[in-house]
Amino acid sequence: MLFKKTLLDRIPSQWRLALLLALFVGTSIALTLILVRSTVSRDLRHLSHSIIIDDLEEYAAIYAASGSGGVAQVFQAVRGSSEHRGLRITSPDGSLLHEAMPDDLRAYPWPERAQNHDWQKAHTFMKELTLPQLGTVLMLGAIRLRDGNILWLGRTEVENRRYQQNITIYLWLAGILAAAVAMLPVVWYSHEVLMPIRAFTRSARQLHLPEGTARLMAPRAIPELKTLASVINAGLDQILSLSRELQGTNDQLAHELRTPLARIRGNLENLLDKSDNPEAKDAAARGLEEIDRAAQLVQSILTIRAGDHGALRLYKQQTSLNDLLHSLVELFTPAAEDRGLALDIKQGLDLVLNIDRQLITQAISNLLDNALAYTPRGGRVTLRWQAEGTGAVLFVEDTGHGVHPEEMEMIWERYNRGSSTFTRHPGMGLGLSLVRAIAMSHGGSVGVTNRVTGGASFWMRLPQG
């Protein structure tokens, strides 16, 4: 049952509709053929019986006027248009008086004489004779003539069968035409419904992009889908407006907090310098640590904002990438050892870039800090770089659990963190946003891929500057 359901789910909806219509039309055609064939066969049999009875009465009248010779002459003239009719005239005791029929009809077991119960109080009766080797039925009628003789008239169902075959062919042609017409809704459904939905899907894949301006697009959609798209797009517009308003409020709040935090820090430093109370000094020192943490958070928000708007001020200098990265590895090695991790560096070319050393150091430090936090004990974090044109690409690789494919773009946004459940690393989701802002301010870019052997590989591309 599960396999059938899974297989059915893999079939596109237009093929499901086509199969459903094919089943419906095929069943309808089959039922129609069965009903029409049975009805036509019954009606043709009744018609043949009526024709035979009418012919018997006509021949009886001719016999009364002209005898058997007149009957034979008329029958011969009529028989020329059909080779499936036969005639006999017998005496009451069964003696054959006259016969006119093709050889095929002689093979049927014609009665030698009529029995009393055949008449059933009428001067005519009908019988059906079957010849198994031919597979056809002979409809046989008899009438009692005035002189007591019996006139037999036989007619096979060959013509009826030929007529039924013609009707069947016409019904099949009509069924094929009906099936073709029935497929028109599938074409309409595929063109007017599925194509717009595919367009929705293609545009929906862009909704996760950082700028947040992508919208559902399907210009040729049916009115209902257009209404759905407009409702969703209106909701996305409202979310984007609220997000921008929230980010603007956060940026403004961070900007306004910078001065009060600096004043509070100055007061705490003054207290720490002038107080002789050990407890007061300890409280002031802890307060300074919290103020520094808050100030760093505010500065990160302002840096990200400036980087996103291309307004981040850089103090570039010629920097040896080899010296910068080796100093960072030495700085983070004790933290890696405390967590049971191996931190190493893969030597690359000794490149010299024109960069803001402090900001690039902060960006790589954030990447290393994330790698150490999200790598299980016993894992390895590797820092490497390679030349690309006149610039370089820096890689921070780990052996952790990687990044969910749907989150590879989202994690670079402010206040967004991955859904990893393997760590409880605290944070507000600003670290990677800061890395992206610093890289973009240098004219570079950032990204992440999952390694085939496990873990994630974060990269930052930096031009020469």
Upper half-sphere CA count for residue 116 (Cβ side, 13 Å): 0
Could you report the per-residue pLDDT of 37-68, keeping only the tens digit for each? 888 888 888 888 898 899 889 999 999 888 88
The CATH number of 11-181 is 3.30.450
Neighbours of 442 (CB within 10 A): 25
Can you give the residue ranges of every domain in the chain?
11-181, 223-308, 317-462
Q: Is the pLDDT of residue 2 over 50?
A: no
Q: Identify the CA nearest to 176 among candidates 14, 35, 22, 31.
A: 22
Question: Token pair for residue 80?
Answer: 């020329």
Q: Is the pLDDT of residue 393 over 90?
A: yes
Given this model, what pLDDT does residue 447 score? 92
Q: What are residue 142's DSSP bridge partners?
A: 125, 152
The CATH number of 317-462 is 3.30.565.10
Angle (CA) 144 85 62, round 5°: 40
Q: Identify the CA nearest to 164 among candidates 38, 46, 291.
A: 38
Mean pLDDT on 365-371: 91
User: Using the 8-state DSSP alphabet, how is residue 405 labeled?
Assistant: G
Residue 174 neighbours by CB under 8 Å, 6+ apart: none
Given this model, what pLDDT does residue 96 score? 87
Cβ atoms of residues 380 and 416 within 8 Å = no
Distance of alpha carbon 155 from alpha carbon 110, whole angstroms: 12
Could you report the per-residue pLDDT of 278-318, keeping only the tens digit for each? 777 777 777 777 777 777 766 767 676 666 666 678 888 99
Strand 85-90 relative to strand 150-156: parallel, antiparallel, unpaired? antiparallel
Distance of alpha carbon 309 from alpha carbon 311, whole angstroms: 5
Among the residue ranges 94-98, 128-132, 164-168, 326-330, the one predicted with the least confidence is 128-132
Q: Which of 121-130, 154-163, 357-366, 398-407: highest mean pLDDT?
A: 357-366
DSSP code string of 409-426: TGGGSTT------S----
Could you report the per-residue pLDDT of 128-187, keeping only the tens digit for each? 888 777 678 889 999 988 888 999 998 888 888 888 888 888 888 888 888 888 778 777
Question: Token pair for residue 387?
Answer: 């030349």
Tell me which amino acid residue 237 is. Answer: D
Q: At 80, is the pLDDT very low, low, confident or very high (cuts 50, 70, 90)?
A: low
Distance of alpha carbon 214 from alpha carbon 205, whole angstroms: 9
- Helices (H), ranges, 11-120: 13-79, 103-106, 116-119
Could you report the per-residue pLDDT of 209-252, keeping only the tens digit for each? 555 667 777 677 777 777 877 888 888 788 777 767 666 666 66
Q: Identify the CA nearest to 114 among candidates 76, 88, 136, 84.
A: 88
Distance of alpha carbon 374 from alpha carbon 417, whole angstroms: 12
Q: Which of 79-83, 332-336, 405-409: highest mean pLDDT?
A: 332-336
Distance of alpha carbon 125 from alpha carbon 148, whole angstroms: 15
Q: Identify the CA nearest to 100 among candidates 171, 152, 138.
A: 152
For domain 223-308, the CATH class is mainly alpha
Q: Identify the CA nearest to 368 among candidates 336, 408, 393, 346.
A: 336
Given this model, what pLDDT does residue 422 score? 42
